[in-house]
């Protein structure tokens, strides 16, 4: 058995599976009533509304970033990430609402999709510790895979298959806005504006 061949084939297979899942999700979302109302809507555009709804919920009910500082620092140390980056992703994803669920099914602070959560070993995606550790691990994987923060963020949002398919940030409005939003939040945190 040629293990080197299998090692190279596995990432390609995973990327293809993610691309198929994203396409199926796009088709399902295109058939949804809100997508039918706007013919140009795609999965990423519908997801933008879902993320906004979670952010609104976060502003109403979350205690804010300080509540999760210890977990974020532990995840940052464990996965070699900046705590400010993890906070920026959490703010963009859920605005610190640990019980948030998007209409697409993404869960918790870092908005993990059910399949992603399972693959990361997250049993309870609404548990802040599990969610932040899982989301941080996934972000680290994307950084390792793409070697660029903007591409890693795009992969976190749209899936690594989409980034690989477009060989860059996918042309999805939501994903492009998401990358800018996280980078803006990161800049605010690193400049001391919180």
CATH assignment at residue 40: 1.10.530.10
**Annotation says 93 is catalytic:** yes
Q: Is the pLDDT of residue 48 over 70?
A: no
Which of the pair, 112 or 11, is modelled with greater confidence?
A: 112
Sign of CA dihedral 186, 106, 162, 155: positive
Per-residue pLDDT band at 1 (split at 50, 70, 90): low
Q: Is the pLDDT of residue 150 over 60?
A: yes
Range of the domain at 48: 3-190
Across the range 29-49, mean pLDDT stands at: 38
**Beta carbons of 83 and 76 less than 8 angstroms apart:** yes
pTM of this structure:
0.69
Any idea which of 9-18, 64-73, 134-143, 148-157 has the lowest mean pLDDT?
9-18
Classify 10 as helix, strand or coil.
Answer: helix
Residue 139 φ/ψ, nearest 5 degrees: -65, -45
Distances (CA, A) of 36 to 32, 42, 43: 6, 10, 12
- Rounded to the nearest integer, the mean pLDDT of the chain is 80
Across the range 64-80, mean pLDDT stands at: 94
Classify 36 as helix, strand or coil.
Answer: helix
Q: Is the pLDDT of residue 93 over 80?
A: yes
DSSP code of residue 101: B
**Beta carbons of 8 and 151 less than 8 angstroms apart:** no
Number of structural domains in the chain: 1
Out of 18, 23, 93, 141, which one is annotated catalytic? Answer: 93
pLDDT of residue 65: 78
pLDDT of residue 59: 43
Q: Residue 76: which of 16, 140, 123, 121 has the closest Cα?
A: 140
- Write the Ramachandran bin of 122: left for phi over 0, alpha for psi from -120 to 50, otherwise beta: beta
Tell me the angle at which helices 128-146 and 83-94 cross, rounded to the nearest 10 degrees.
110
């Amino acid at each position: 058995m040629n293990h080197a061949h299998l090692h190279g084939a596995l990432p390609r297979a995973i990327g293809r599976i993610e691309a198929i899942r994203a396409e199926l999700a796009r088709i399902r979302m295109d058939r949804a009533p809100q997508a039918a109302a706007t013919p140009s809507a795609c999965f990423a555009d519908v997801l933008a509304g879902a993320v906004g709804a979670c952010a609104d919920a976060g502003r109403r009910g979350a205690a804010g970033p300080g509540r999760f500082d210890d977990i974020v620092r532990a995840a940052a140390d464990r996965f070699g990430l900046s705590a400010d980056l993890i906070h920026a992703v959490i703010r963009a994803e859920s605005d610190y609402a640990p019980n948030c669920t998007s209409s697409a099914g993404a869960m918790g602070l870092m908005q993990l999709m059910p399949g992603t959560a399972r693959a990361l070993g997250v049993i309870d995606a609404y548990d802040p510790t599990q969610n932040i550790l899982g989301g941080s691990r996934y972000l680290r994987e994307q950084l390792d895979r793409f070697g660029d923060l903007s591409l890693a963020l795009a992969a976190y949002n749209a899936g690594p298959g989409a980034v690989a398919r477009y060989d860059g940030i996918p042309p999805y409005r939501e994903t492009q806005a998401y990358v800018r939003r996280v980078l803006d939040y990161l800049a605010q945190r690193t400049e001391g504006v919180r």
